[in-house]
Amino acid sequence: MADFFSQRFGKNVWITSHARKSMQKRGIDDATLERVIETGEVKRKSDVDMWIFKHIDSRQDNLICAAVVESAAVTIKTVMINWELEDEI
């Protein structure tokens, strides 16, 4: 069973064990991650790879970013904090 369903992407969302460990280490709960996925900004790396990131007002370690693969489902590979959006050259 999927971890949650994304209304935004219209797909099930799966959180890898690596992402779960990253979330635990960084104090990110499921509700916060779901908020990032549903309302965060998207930067695509390719047709399937992307970063979804959001500033959360109650946290000091922003931006929160999820590295995501989108195919038949949305798979969250890892979750980061203090992420910085880099401009492409």
Distance of alpha carbon 89 from alpha carbon 82, whole angstroms: 22
Q: By the 8 A CB rule, do 14 and 73 touch?
A: yes
- Report the predicted TM-score, pTM, of the whole model to 2 decimal places: 0.91
Write out the two tokens for 2: 């999927």
Quick: pLDDT tens for 71-80.
Answer: 999 999 999 9
* Helical ranges in the chain per DSSP H: 17-26, 30-39
**Which parts of the chain have pLDDT scores under 50?**
89
Supply the pLDDT for residue 65.
Answer: 96
* Structural domains of the chain, ranges and CATH numbers in brackets: 4-80 (3.30.2310)
Q: Name residue 43's beta-bridge partners.
A: 51
Q: What is the pLDDT at residue 62? A: 82
Amino acid at the residue 30: D
